[in-house]
Amino acid sequence: MVNFEVIEEYDHEQVVFCSNKEAGLRAIIAIHNTTLGPALGGTRMWNYKSHDDAMKDVLRLSRGMTYKAAVSGLNLGGGKAVIIGDSATQKNELLFRIFGKFVEGLAGRYITAEDVGTSVTDMEFVRMETKYVTGVSKALGGSGDPSPVTAYGVFMGMKASAKYKWGSDSLAGKKIAVQGAGQVARYLCEHLYNEGAEIYLTDINESKVKRVLETIKAQVVKPEEIYSLDVDVFSPNALGAIINNDTIGKIKAEIIAGGANNQLEREDLHGLMLMEKGILYATDYVINAGGLINVASELEGYSQDRALKQAEKIYDVIRKIFEISAKENVPTNEASNKMAEERLRSVGRISNTYTGRSSFSGRLGELFHK
Ligand code: NAD
């Protein structure tokens, strides 16, 4: 059943159902808001329990992309796609090419990228049918792995947090607990180590920890120990919902700054609990925007230097959010939403009938003005 109430509740412009029996494709593309530019967001492939779950996920994630792009100063809107299915067994060229045709049909209102369950190879199949795709391999002019840029943005956001909390943005001598030793954590640890921080590292996968220890020194701890360490900064870079009723009581760090998505188990509660405990929380979707900045950079002809320069600005954005939070006495996650909404309001919502603006340049302009 099409449920307009749900779509209205999330305030979306357009939701597209894509189906092709032969390819076994069932997908939903959600365009949340194109006030600032074309809606960019990845395609997630997941075995959802129900179509309702898929719908909720795509609406929630695409709205999140609007906020992330807006707060990061990007000329992009928010969108996301989900393909319903098992990414381990149901992927093939036809599926992604047919999906690519649907993306092409949106004529640039939505630009896709890889996400959970999809890969660079999948996006290359999508690319055969549409140019409205980012995150393809470097060989095809894409941006490749976004993690170095994400990690640099997290590092900048952590420094801004240190400056706000302690008056200096140096992390030298600071004790930092890093949860996860994956792609983002690996590059982040290098920055922290070079700055002279004391790193405590954990991962459920020992080989990941070993790889990080090839380039830096860190004290390795058990996964369950990471929350209660006597450290200055807790940096979550693994999974979501790790800030919750159970962990907030354990955290001794004065700052939480990490790249993981959806860190607060409950947006409406746990940001407030952190504020009341005096823990400075660098909002996840702001501090980890380097990944989006990286793929967005593809639209102007990819340059990692340019992407890194832009990710550096996360420092200022985080600082501004702390200022809004203090001035308005609201949790930092709420201050981040306010800042994003303010930018959207200042540009003005020109949904549904949006036809593009002349200020875009490069591939972004070319794509969006089509
Ligand atoms: P990754 O898969 O390379 O690394 C995640 C690591 O977390 C893995 O090594 C995994 O073993 C570990 N892990 C899982 N559960 C754990 C637990 N309970 N305790 C400790 N470690 C655990 O992923 P990534 O690309 O480094 O991304 C990390 C986080 O950052 C994710 O939440 C991701 O959504 C987010 N993020 C990543 C990017 C990016 O550019 N890669 C951009 C924005 C946000």
Which pLDDT value is given to residue 141? 81
Which pLDDT value is given to residue 163? 98
Nearest ligand 1 atom, CA 150: 40
Chain-wide mean pLDDT for the chain? 92
Nearest Cα residue to 290 out of 176, 183, 138: 183
Test site for ligand 1: of 149, 155, 184, 225, most ligand atoms within 8 A of the Cβ: 184
Is residue 92 in contact with ligand 1, taking CB distance under 6 Å?
no
Confidence tier at 9 by pLDDT (50, 70, 90): confident
Is residue 182 in contact with ligand 1, taking CB distance under 6 Å?
yes
Residue with tokens 């609007």: 66
Query: What mean pLDDT comes out for the span 6-18?
Result: 91
Count of other CB atoms within 10 angstroms of residue 17 = 12
Nearest ligand 1 atom, CA 185: 26
Query: What mean pLDDT comes out for the span 109-136?
Result: 94
Confidence tier at 140 by pLDDT (50, 70, 90): confident
Nearest ligand 1 atom, CA 151: 40
Distance 182 CA to ligand 1 centre (A): 5
Confidence tier at 216 by pLDDT (50, 70, 90): very high
pLDDT tens per residue, range 353-362 = 333 333 333 4
Residues of the chain above pLDDT 90, percent? 86
Which pLDDT value is given to residue 355? 35
Query: What amino acid occupies position 293?
Result: I
> In this model, does residue 327 exceed pLDDT 50?
yes
Which pLDDT value is given to residue 367? 45
Nearest Cα residue to 135 out of 155, 112, 152: 112
> In this model, does residue 1 exceed pLDDT 80?
no
Confidence tier at 366 by pLDDT (50, 70, 90): very low
Distance 12 CA to ligand 1 centre (A): 29
Count of other CB atoms within 10 angstroms of residue 94 = 14
Which pLDDT value is given to residue 369? 37
Enzyme catalytic residues = 80
Is residue 150 in contact with ligand 1, taking CB distance under 6 Å?
yes
Nearest ligand 1 atom, CA 240: 32
Q: Burial-class residue 144 by CB neighbours within 10 Å (0-12, 13-18, 19+).
A: middle
> In this model, does residue 148 exceed pLDDT 60?
yes
pLDDT tens per residue, range 157-166 = 999 999 999 9
Handedness of CA 197, 262, 110, 11 (dihedral sign): negative
pLDDT tens per residue, range 29-57 = 999 999 999 999 999 999 999 999 999 99
Test site for ligand 1: of 186, 228, 237, most ligand atoms within 8 A of the Cβ: 237
Is residue 173 in contact with ligand 1, taking CB distance under 6 Å?
no
Is residue 79 in contact with ligand 1, taking CB distance under 6 Å?
no
Distance 236 CA to ligand 1 centre (A): 9
pLDDT tens per residue, range 95-107 = 999 999 999 999 9
Asked whether 51 and 62 are in contact (CB, 8 A), the reply is no
Distance 23 CA to ligand 1 centre (A): 31
Test site for ligand 1: of 239, 243, 247, most ligand atoms within 8 A of the Cβ: 239
Asked whether 66 and 345 are in contact (CB, 8 A), the reply is no
Confidence tier at 370 by pLDDT (50, 70, 90): very low
Is residue 153 in contact with ligand 1, taking CB distance under 6 Å?
no
Is residue 304 in contact with ligand 1, taking CB distance under 6 Å?
no
Which pLDDT value is given to residue 349? 57
Which of 87-91, 123-127, 346-350 shows the lowest per-residue confidence on average (mean pLDDT)?
A: 346-350
Which pLDDT value is given to residue 145? 87
pLDDT tens per residue, range 222-245 = 999 999 999 999 999 999 999 999
Which pLDDT value is given to residue 139? 84
Asked whether 61 and 113 are in contact (CB, 8 A), the reply is no
Confidence tier at 4 by pLDDT (50, 70, 90): confident
Confidence tier at 351 by pLDDT (50, 70, 90): very low
E strands of the chain, at which residues? 14-20, 25-33, 39-40, 43-46, 77-84, 110-111, 175-179, 198-202, 219-220, 233-236, 255-256, 280-281
